[in-house]
Structure 1
Amino acid sequence: MILIGHRGLAGLAPENTLSSFRAAHAHGLAMVEFDVRLSQDGVPLVFHDDTLERTTDGAGPVAGRDWADIARLDAGSWFAPAFAGEKVPSLEQALGLCLDLGLAVNMEIKPDRGREAGTAETALALALRLWPDGVAPPLVSSFDAPCLEAARRVAPHWPRALLLESLAPGWRDQAQGLDVGALHLDHRPLRAERVENARGAGFQVRAYTVNDPVRARQLRDWGVTGVFSDFPHSS
């Protein structure tokens, strides 16, 4: 089972920042997950929320600010004074650092309403241009079907995963229709038989967000193939 740093390594550094990716690498993680959305002027950037308040000194919707404005914000002081001045990275900056560090990547597409396909198309076009031949491509995931459909069109050979909160009725048809290879599931409602059902249907199963080592080991024993964690010890 692989341990995947959640938003870099969000328990030890400000989430979705270059410092968070460096922390993941420093603690021996081989893979990080991060979120991608678009600025008002269509620049793909690494950020989870649809508004700026929680993790920056800015305010308002991310989609209402141009990249040049977002790039000036402080995205570290909220976490700890030592990270004051940390910036929101562009997708280009994040991918470049991950390549330099040898980190595998899971890009979660986080679109604003009405920008689902456009967010995935823009992010994947940039990633395809930057990603070198011979290096395992990023894993692309999303809760939104239009994002995964766009990813399949733009980068058909890159792996994709459907994010779900639980295995509600119709999950199998949805995942098969989107032609994904994996399901990323909230660990809290997961049970052994649900993992077995998903694995039996041919899907890898990864679980989010697991910060308890005992729970991580239980999930591993059930057949979960990866867990997303904020801390390096959850394995």
Structure 2
Amino acid sequence: MNFWDNFKKDEQLLIAHRGLRSLRAENTMAAFKQVIGKYKIAEFDVTFTKDGIAIIIHDDTLERTSNVKEFKEFKKPYKVADYTYEQLLKLDFSSWFIKKDPFNTIKENKVSIEDLKKEKIEKIPTLKEVLLFLKQNNIFANIEIKDLENTNFHEIAAKEVLKIVDETKMQNKVIISSFNHVYLKQIHDINPSIETAALQEKEHPKDLINYLKSLNVKNYNCDFEITDEALVKKLNDEGFYVNVYTVNQKEDIEKLFKWGVKSVFTDY
């Protein structure tokens, strides 16, 4: 079963980027809870702790989205891969959202600061925890495996992520994407029925169509900055789905759907 068979053929789909990160701290359970009833698909990033637990965080360091600097046991450059899951559970991954108000949603009264202050502090979620939550709420997932080339997990990342997808019985409800296209080949080799997507920014690979065919992907997840109508048509004509990130202006989203884009990643 194709991932997109879960939806109506001409359905224009928005994907909540790192959960709805304009409403709650990105890649936290609070951000994924905001997706319920709003969007059908959530996107999030997967990497690994020092002891091999698959966790959800975008950056390879902890400084931007946690209070790591308050703890003496954590040292610069605060790399995620240097700490165990148990150590990371000591950190607060949500209070920064109130201080920084990254999308001005608190300032513009789109998010209630009183509600935020009443909510519990968010801990770092595991991949298994997030997939089970999404499954329970009938939300689909775009799992991005971070580029782990310079870590101990480069060789096993794809296999470990697939193992958790299998455990949670989410095989037909996920797309797995990565900027490291080696992982996509590995996923296809292990389980060709899992949908994969090549993530791309800055510029397109040479001989794009043949390159994507060599990866055995059905999806091209490309940056809005390098997307145009001719590209979308060319890819669609060759049977590929085009999914564009990260787009927050309504007129841009409407334009992309008019071009034939399958889905759009958004923060709102």
Q: TM-score, normalised by structure 1?
A: 0.92
Runs of 4+ in 1 over 6 A off after TM superposition: none
In the alignment, the residues of structure 2 paired with residue 33 and residue 174 of structure 1 have an alpha-carbon distance, to the nearest angstrom, of: 24
Matched, 1:217 2:254: yes
1:131 alignment counterpart: 169
Q: 2:145 aligns with which of 103, 106, 109?
A: 109
1:55 alignment counterpart: 65
* Structure 2 residues not aligned, in runs of 5+: 1-11, 69-73, 99-115
The one-letter code sitting in structure 2 at the alignment partner of 1:3 is L
More deviation in 109-118 or 202-211? 109-118
1:202 alignment counterpart: 239
How many residue pairs were aligned?
Answer: 228
Q: 2:18 aligns with which of 7, 30, 49?
A: 7
With over 3 angstroms needed to count, the CA separation of the structure-2 counterparts of 1:154 and 1:70, relative to structure 1, is: farther
8 Å Cα contact 2:205-2:211 kept in structure 1: no
Q: 1:170 aligns with which of 197, 207, 210?
A: 207
Deviation at 1:167, TM superposition (A): 2.3
CA RMSD of aligned residues (A): 1.6
Deviation at 1:126, TM superposition (A): 1.5
Matched, 1:153 2:189: yes
1:95 alignment counterpart: 131
Q: Which structure is larger by alpha-carbon Rg, 1 or 2?
A: 2
In the alignment, the residues of structure 1 paired with residue 135 and residue 90 of structure 2 have an alpha-carbon distance, to the nearest angstrom, of: 24
What is the identity percentage for the equivalent residue pairs of Structure 1 and Structure 2?
30
Q: 1:140 aligns with which of 176, 179, 200?
A: 176
2:110 alignment counterpart: none
In the alignment, the residues of structure 1 paired with residue 126 and residue 147 of structure 2 have an alpha-carbon distance, to the nearest angstrom, of: 15
Q: TM-score, normalised by structure 2?
A: 0.81
8 Å Cα contact 1:111-1:119 kept in structure 2: no
SS of the residue corresponding to residue 15 of structure 1 reads: coil
Deviation string, structure 1 residues 12-54 (Cα, Å, up to 9, x no partner): 111111111100114x211100111111111100111000111
SS of the residue corresponding to residue 96 of structure 1 reads: helix
Matched, 1:121 2:159: yes
Q: 1:66 aligns with which of 73, 77, 84?
A: 84
Deviation at 1:124, TM superposition (A): 1.1
Q: 1:78 aligns with which of 86, 92, 96?
A: 96
More deviation in 54-63 or 11-20? 54-63
Deviation string, structure 1 residues 78-100 (Cα, Å, up to 9, x no partner): 10263562111011111111011
